[in-house]
């Protein structure tokens, strides 16, 4: 099979011939029809995230956002058939630990992520999904492979973040970062009836956020984010979502909350923070602010997400910047390094 392979960190990926995957009795092989190019993949390519056990084992095939068709199925896999159109969460669960059994497979004791730590991803013609029955999700009518790829990390992550923040209709939600996860969170928050403020450093991304449903925007290069949010909302946001994971956006999210607000941390940090960030802990204490982590979206919660997409209440398509081929991944990574991507870039030609 053809695949885009990372052979050296921060060096161009090479489109190469790799062995086709072979399923075991509990596994499935998908023909990949669409694979999202996510900033998480960029982080892995940069050599980040070794501090949380998500470094790359080279050579590596990245890609954890995908939609495709089952072409081979292990003998023990029930509930699915060859020819089914499917996707899966980026966080792969074992299906048997206490967290998987409790319906929280995103917290699986043995969680793995496609493309990281030796697990092949979807920048390839074919993808192996182990423990298929616990991880695969059938796509409903009207949800195609490109939408599934958009859902596979950024969209489902934004959806879960809004849920983790216990967002209610009419509440103010301030989203730090108007990239893929941020735009997905904005659209989801709007769908549940919230009023959304988007924060970014780029005016074109803020304009995209307005098109996605944000009622107000703040440019963090030219404005004091906390003060601007409090002025717009009359006291502060009820929910702050940090989609970037840098010290500045973490601080800005918390400082823009009203008393009793909820800060949802979605973005994982990069090389500067390496997992450690400061928080204004006295303000957190005195204002009874909650700090909530949010990782992916549990498989049992996918039905609600897919239903909203099938009904047209959530629409990933406007967030797709362009469709590309395997050989274009390096160009997209270069744009990510320059922070010039707008929305999703998805591989559809293999």
Q: 323-339: buried (b, 16+ CB within 10 Å) or exposed (e) per residue? A: ebebebbeebbebbeee
Please check whether residue 229 is in contact with residue 236, taking contact to mean a CB–CB distance below 8 angstroms: yes
- Radius of gyration over every alpha carbon of the chain, rounded to an integer in angstroms: 19
Q: Are residues 19 and 119 in the same domain?
A: yes
Q: Are residues 273 and 232 in the same domain?
A: yes
> How does residue 252 score in pLDDT terms, banded at 50, 70 and 90?
very high
Predicted confidence at residue 152, as pLDDT, reads: 79
Tokens representing 82? Answer: 């060859």
- Classify residue 161: in a domain, yes or no: no
Q: Are residues 150 and 32 in the same domain?
A: yes
Q: Are residues 102 and 202 in the same domain?
A: no
Span of 55-64, 188-197, 267-276 with lowest mean pLDDT: 267-276
Q: Are residues 177 and 282 in the same domain?
A: yes
Q: Are residues 143 and 20 in the same domain?
A: yes
- Classify residue 160: in a domain, yes or no: no
Please check whether residue 327 is in contact with residue 9, taking contact to mean a CB–CB distance below 8 angstroms: no
- Classify residue 101: in a domain, yes or no: yes
Tokens representing 178? Answer: 């108007």
Which one of 265, 293, 321 terminates a domain? Answer: 293
334, pLDDT greater than 90: yes
Q: Are residues 286 and 301 in the same domain?
A: no
- Classify residue 318: in a domain, yes or no: yes
> How does residue 260 score in pLDDT terms, banded at 50, 70 and 90?
very high
Q: How many domains does the chain have?
A: 2
Q: Are residues 103 and 147 in the same domain?
A: yes
Range of the domain at 251: 166-293
Predicted confidence at residue 88, as pLDDT, reads: 93
- Classify residue 230: in a domain, yes or no: yes
CATH number of the CATH domain containing 206? 3.40.50.720
Please check whether residue 152 is in contact with residue 67, taking contact to mean a CB–CB distance below 8 angstroms: yes
Q: Are residues 149 and 170 in the same domain?
A: no
- Classify residue 19: in a domain, yes or no: yes
Q: Are residues 136 and 219 in the same domain?
A: no
Which DSSP helix (H) or strand (E) runs through 290?
strand 290-293
Please check whether residue 79 is in contact with residue 133, taking contact to mean a CB–CB distance below 8 angstroms: yes
Predicted confidence at residue 315, as pLDDT, reads: 86
Which one of 278, 293, 308 terminates a domain? Answer: 293
**pLDDT, tens digit, 9 for 90 and up, residues 117-150:** 889 999 999 999 999 999 999 998 888 899 889 8
Which one of 293, 323, 340 terminates a domain? Answer: 293
- Percent of the chain predicted with pLDDT > 70: 100
Q: Are residues 172 and 279 in the same domain?
A: yes
112, pLDDT greater than 90: yes
Tokens representing 309? Answer: 């997409």
């Amino acid at each position: 099979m053809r695949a885009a392979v990372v052979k050296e960190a921060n060096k161009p990926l090479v489109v190469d011939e790799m062995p086709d995957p072979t399923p075991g009795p509990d596994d499935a092989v998908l023909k990949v029809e669409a694979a999202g190019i996510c900033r998480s993949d960029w982080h892995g390519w940069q050599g980040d995230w070794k501090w949380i056990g998500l470094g790359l084992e080279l050579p590596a095939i990245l890609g954890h956002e995908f939609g495709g068709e089952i072409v081979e199925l292990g003998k023990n896999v029930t509930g699915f058939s060859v020819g089914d159109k499917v996707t899966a969460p980026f966080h792969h669960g074992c299906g048997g630990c206490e967290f998987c059994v409790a319906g929280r497979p995103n917290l699986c004791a043995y969680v793995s992520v496609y493309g990281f730590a030796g697990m092949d991803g979807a920048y390839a013609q074919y993808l192996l999904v182990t423990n298929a029955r616990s991880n695969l999700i059938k796509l409903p009518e009207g949800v195609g492979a490109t939408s599934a790829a958009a859902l596979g990390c950024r969209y489902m992550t934004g959806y879960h973040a809004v849920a983790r923040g216990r967002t209610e209709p009419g509440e103010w939600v301030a989203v730090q970062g108007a990239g893929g996860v941020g735009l997905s969170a904005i659209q989801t928050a709007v769908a549940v009836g919230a009023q959304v403020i988007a924060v970014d450093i780029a005016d074109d991304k803020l304009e995209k956020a307005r098109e996605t449903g944000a009622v107000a925007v703040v440019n963090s290069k030219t404005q004091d984010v906390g003060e601007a949010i409090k002025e717009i909302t009359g006291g502060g946001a009820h929910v702050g979502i940090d989609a970037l994971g840098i010290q500045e956006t973490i601080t800005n999210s918390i400082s823009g909350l009203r008393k009793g607000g909820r800060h949802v941390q979605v973005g994982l940090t990069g090389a500067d923070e390496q997992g450690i960030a400061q928080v204004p802990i006295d303000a957190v204490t005195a204002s009874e602010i909650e700090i909530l982590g949010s990782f992916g979206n549990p498989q049992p919660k996918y039905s609600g997400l897919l239903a909203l997409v099938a009904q047209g209440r959530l629409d990933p398509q406007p967030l797709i910047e362009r469709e590309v081929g395997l050989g274009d991944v390096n160009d997209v990574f270069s744009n990510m390094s320059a922070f010039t991507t707008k929305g999703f870039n998805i591989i559809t030609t293999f």
